[in-house]
Homo-oligomer: A and B are copies of this chain.
Amino acid sequence: MQFNSETLHFTSETLSNGVVERNFALDEITGVLWSPASRNVGGPLMLLGHSGGMHKKAPGLIASALHSVTTQGFTVAAIDAPGHGDRPRNLQDQRWAEAIHQARAAGDPIAPIVIAYSWSLAERAVPEWRATLDALQALPEIGAEASIGYGGVSLGVVTGVLLTAVESRIAALSFGSVFVDDTLIEAARKVTVPVEYRIPWDDKHFDHTEGIALFDAFASEEKSLHARSGRQYPVPEGERDASAQYLARHLVPIAATLPD
């Protein structure tokens, strides 16, 4: 697939509580951009990757996005993964999703299926994110000099690690937990930007020893692991704030103001 940054168009615009939300489409990619309603621009751009089975407006993702816009002045972008949200799901993806549902219903481990499916999705999502970045940076309120970070959980982590391994525009990462396999470990070894990784310590679906192995693999000179007691969900109060603060410390706002 070839992407053309000229084709990004906004399909809706709403304003609520000081945040502008604009849906956009770029070829077959569907996305959303949240930005401060003020005319101040040049804040960092935060990309958010949703988890498998969710979409660009998953409740937790929206909460993180609005928090980051309102407290840090970030502009935040999310896109639907292939076959998620507003995008049609192909037959192969439908089979992956059904296999996960069946394994869960039978009480079987879902990790092997989730890992295989996530890799398939992430490999397709990486060129989509790069095209989206091209298009977003062509917008006057973002620009070529924007400082860019990436946050996500689960599928969003796999996508973010793969993306950051090949995309030098991503300057910092802040992740939640993810199923870890050797391929993800290999990709993490190529990541050198600052990374913060947050894991639950007592989740029956998530082995914290694998999370520690992933943290160890990041080649980043500056990296930070936060492990907390309890399960992955609900996400504790304060964790979204910690993630936004981490990216704020490692991204650089650009002084700029849009013309009236």
Contacts and interface: CB of A to CB of B under 8 A. Distances in A.
Interface of A: 201, 212, 215-216, 220-230, 238, 249
Contacts of A223: 201, 228-229
A224 B8 CA distance: 42
A225 B226 contact: yes
21 contacts: A201-B215, A201-B223, A201-B225, A212-B212, A215-B227, A220-B229, A221-B229, A222-B229, A222-B230, A223-B228, A223-B229, A224-B226, A224-B227, A224-B228, A224-B229, A225-B226, A225-B227, A225-B228, A226-B226, A227-B227, A238-B249
A26 to B, nearest CB: 36
Give chain A's interface secondary structure class. Answer: mixed
Contacts of A227: 215, 224-225, 227
Contacts of A228: 223-225
State the number of copies, please: 2
Contacts of A226: 224-226
Contacts of A220: 229
A223 B237 CA distance: 14
Contacts of A222: 229-230
A249 B242 CA distance: 14
A228 B226 CA distance: 9
A79 B67 CA distance: 42
A96 B223 CA distance: 36
Nearest to A226: B226
A50 to B, nearest CB: 25
A226 B215 CA distance: 12
Contacts of A221: 229
A226 B238 CA distance: 15
Nearest to A212: B212
Nearest to A223: B229
A24 to B, nearest CB: 36
Which among A201, A222, A223, A229 has the highest number of chain B CB atoms within 10 Å? Answer: A229
A9 B82 CA distance: 71
Contacts of A238: 249
A175 to B, nearest CB: 14
A193 B230 CA distance: 14
Given A223-B229, A224-B226, 18 more contacts: A201-B215, A201-B216, A201-B223, A201-B225, A212-B212, A215-B227, A220-B229, A221-B229, A222-B229, A222-B230, A223-B228, A224-B227, A224-B228, A224-B229, A225-B225, A225-B228, A226-B226, A238-B249
